[in-house]
Chains A and B, each alone.
Chain A
């Protein structure tokens, strides 16, 4: 890897004041060491699901390229917001949260993707579980495409873990297509060691009544980036996202989520709950983009960040872009330390401040962890949370 080339990732869809340093993030090439392509352990996959392996990154993106016109179609008049950056990633087969530099990294390093295709009307009960157990010092990349054809349903759970103090690098690109009436549930659990550098880049597109549900937990790694761009292409498509994160020590987390509403009566609900401790820093960018033609759509984005040390840095950019009259968009953010009333309540029940904080952190993260539809992984996450709090 050329150490002189840094990647610009998680670019905010519209730029704002440069002094805030939130317009993008830099993934330092010096942090990227790639000695292998990841070979995860997969659960037994239902015979009904078609699995293609060793597909080049570009080939895996063909399904999006073939549908690109449909994905980017705007029924109304295209409009340009101030500071627009949408042109930057327009060459991507499917726009993702972290952007085109990740695609270029995947292509340059010849990453082979796995393509999971769920045939029409197939509703699988058993989730596809993909586990990455990464060794100390390991550097790897991986990519997946999940294609749910009409009226199908599939759940994919991805877990990244390593020894507690392991170092290394791991990058993932996951692209999703939920066709008419299809539903994809994607669960991402990041439990990497304290020395890991990690990125998780997600892109999704939903056709009519298609739905993507995303549950993600960012609990480990020294430096972590995560981005998700969901195209709600056609009417009544839905994106639900729940993220829980914990940043401690000198760890950093950089987030960029976008719901791009083009179809009528589309819905996006994004919730972010997290805790910052020690010297940790976190940047959150969340954008609801109502394009002209997305009438009747609803977008709601809520962030709740608990700050538990006076040395943390928390940056929040909740953006709403709107070029449609008949929409309902809202965002809310609550940022601060543990409320005195909660502490007081706990103390009246004989719980001291430290214990109260532990209870609140656990409750916050567990509320997201309990959405994991695999009991074994959910239990592992709960233990992990218990171990660090």
Chain B
């Protein structure tokens, strides 16, 4: 067999990397830096209720007190004094696509969002910098009683109490430094409520675009899926590349009721100047089921570990994730699960690809509390190294406090196997195609979990071109 190596192309970010110049006439931009004054300014812009303003100030204090984690990738390049926490277009959020300002509309048209809405979604929310610019939900879904709106509107609606009851209760601002930061300057994001027994047949989607240079996006997504209800929510993120650091410190809180099911899919393709310090957490009641599908392709630095608390008996969680760390990227991703209820089960399955000097770290924790009798947890993480200048590290942790549990863990790290290439070649497939097929197959467990349109997007995103000899 030839020793010549195949080249696996880096992810092509060009389709996401167009910039729209934001001028002062159309955009409001808060001064860079994080002070009590800037936090109060955000609160004023948002017309917060009093409790929210006080909450923001409390979070700012926590942010200043909590240390940066000592275990993750370096975030030295992130200087909060150079980040604007709030940038918005001067027009209001629209419920009709035609009314969205032309420049923003163009951006989302190029990303294919309106087309996706027409073809395959029950509702769409589009956030541009710090604010939602468009929100719409199909009439038939709204008729079922499903609420899908921006969080700010929800805060001033009949759901205000429900939001106050749930907002940052699952991810308290004391959790870590960037949860506190989020609490202080959060803006935008969606609120979804699916009433009891309602099954939303086609997915809802929020798309987050951070267009401004040197800015932060801090959207908050709050989803409550009531008893027996069912929802698939899709989240997409992208940004053009700038020479200055951008920050994404969003927060996702998901409440899955008794017998309910929620699937939360993410295709994250932030640009390579982005520090993605996002927090996602779900709590699942009795017989409920939480499914995560996560693709991490972009960002300069990522800390991303969606967490699930299996509170109710017989509750379940499944996490399927893929991370592609290319040149200049340090992506520290994984999942966390806490088993509290009896007969709970979790399956974590991840794939990681490292190339061109990229650092891909899989990090996880499985905690089985004493109350979680008959719990079952299974973790499987595979890493593929495409060259010897990259890193693929696997750092899983397990803390088991009952004997009446069954925990299995396996991890593999390696390269494209010569035997597999040889096998395929013996069936008449060229070496190039064989290798391409193997790498696509490696990513397949994730793409098959996505709706077709998104699987295609992911495959485009990976663009694992096997082009000639090196």
Binding site for B on A (CB under 8 A): 14-20, 22-23, 76-77, 79, 81-83, 276, 290, 292, 295, 307-337
The answer to whether residues A325 and B387 also contact, given A331-B411, A333-B409 and a CB cut-off of 8 A, is: yes
Q: Are A327 and B414 in contact (CB under 8 A)?
A: yes
Chain A residue nearest to B379 (CB atoms) is A333
Return the contact of B399 from the options A315, A321, A331 (Cβ within 8 A): A315
Q: Are A335 and B407 in contact (CB under 8 A)?
A: yes
Chain A residue nearest to B380 (CB atoms) is A332
Chain B residue nearest to A337 (CB atoms) is B403
389-428 of chain B: CB within 8 A of chain A: 389-415
Q: Are B389 and A77 in contact (CB under 8 A)?
A: yes
Q: How far is the CA of A335 from the CA of B402 in the complex (A)?
A: 10
Q: How far is the CB of A332 from chain B (nearest CB, A)?
A: 5
Q: Are B71 and A329 in contact (CB under 8 A)?
A: no
Q: How far is the CA of A171 from the CA of B380 in the complex (A)?
A: 37
Q: Are B385 and A325 in contact (CB under 8 A)?
A: yes
Q: How far is the CB of A216 from chain B (nearest CB, A)?
A: 22
Residues of B within 8 A of A292 (CB): 388-389
22 residue pairs bridging A and B, Cβ less than 8 Å apart: A14-B393, A16-B71, A18-B70, A77-B389, A81-B393, A307-B400, A307-B402, A311-B370, A313-B400, A313-B401, A317-B395, A320-B383, A320-B413, A322-B383, A322-B385, A325-B390, A327-B413, A327-B414, A327-B415, A330-B411, A332-B410, A337-B405
The answer to whether residues A336 and B407 also contact, given A315-B398, A320-B393 and a CB cut-off of 8 A, is: yes
Chain B residue nearest to A303 (CB atoms) is B409
- A82-B71, A331-B410 known; 14 other A-B pairs, CB under 8 Å? A15-B71, A16-B397, A17-B71, A20-B367, A82-B72, A83-B395, A313-B401, A315-B398, A316-B398, A326-B388, A327-B385, A331-B409, A333-B407, A334-B407
Q: How far is the CA of A82 from the CA of B395 in the complex (A)?
A: 10
Return the contact of A329 from the options B73, B391, B405, B414 (Cβ within 8 A): B414
Q: How far is the CB of B66 from chain A (nearest CB, A)?
A: 12
Residues of B within 8 A of A318 (CB): 396, 409, 411
Q: How far is the CB of A242 from chain B (nearest CB, A)?
A: 20
Residues of B within 8 A of A335 (CB): 398, 400, 405-409
Q: B440 contacts the other chain (Cβ, under 8 Å)?
A: no
Return the contact of B397 from the options A20, A328, A334 (Cβ within 8 A): A20
Return the contact of A321 from the options B386, B393, B400, B412 (Cβ within 8 A): B393
Q: B184 contacts the other chain (Cβ, under 8 Å)?
A: no
Q: B332 contacts the other chain (Cβ, under 8 Å)?
A: yes
Q: How far is the CB of B361 from chain A (nearest CB, A)?
A: 5
Return the contact of B363 from the options A16, A77, A307 (Cβ within 8 A): A16
Chain A residue nearest to B413 (CB atoms) is A329
Chain A residue nearest to B331 (CB atoms) is A82
Q: Are A20 and B365 in contact (CB under 8 A)?
A: yes
Q: Are A330 and B397 in contact (CB under 8 A)?
A: no
Q: Report which residue of A290, A308, A316, A320 has the largest number of chain B beta carbons within 10 angstroms of its beta carbon.
A: A320
Q: B330 contacts the other chain (Cβ, under 8 Å)?
A: yes
Q: Are B408 and A333 in contact (CB under 8 A)?
A: yes
Chain B residue nearest to A323 (CB atoms) is B391
Return the contact of A333 from the options B385, B386, B398, B412 (Cβ within 8 A): B398
Q: How far is the CA of A323 from the CA of B365 in the complex (A)?
A: 23
Residues of B within 8 A of A76 (CB): 388
Q: Are A336 and B71 in contact (CB under 8 A)?
A: no
Q: How far is the CA of A242 from the CA of B98 in the complex (A)?
A: 69
Q: B104 contacts the other chain (Cβ, under 8 Å)?
A: no
Q: Are B71 and A23 in contact (CB under 8 A)?
A: yes
Q: How far is the CA of A337 from the CA of B400 in the complex (A)?
A: 12
Q: How far is the CB of B49 from chain A (nearest CB, A)?
A: 32
Residues of A within 8 A of B332 (CB): 82
Q: How far is the CA of A146 from the CA of B409 in the complex (A)?
A: 36
Q: B133 contacts the other chain (Cβ, under 8 Å)?
A: no
Q: How far is the CA of A312 from the CA of B401 in the complex (A)?
A: 6
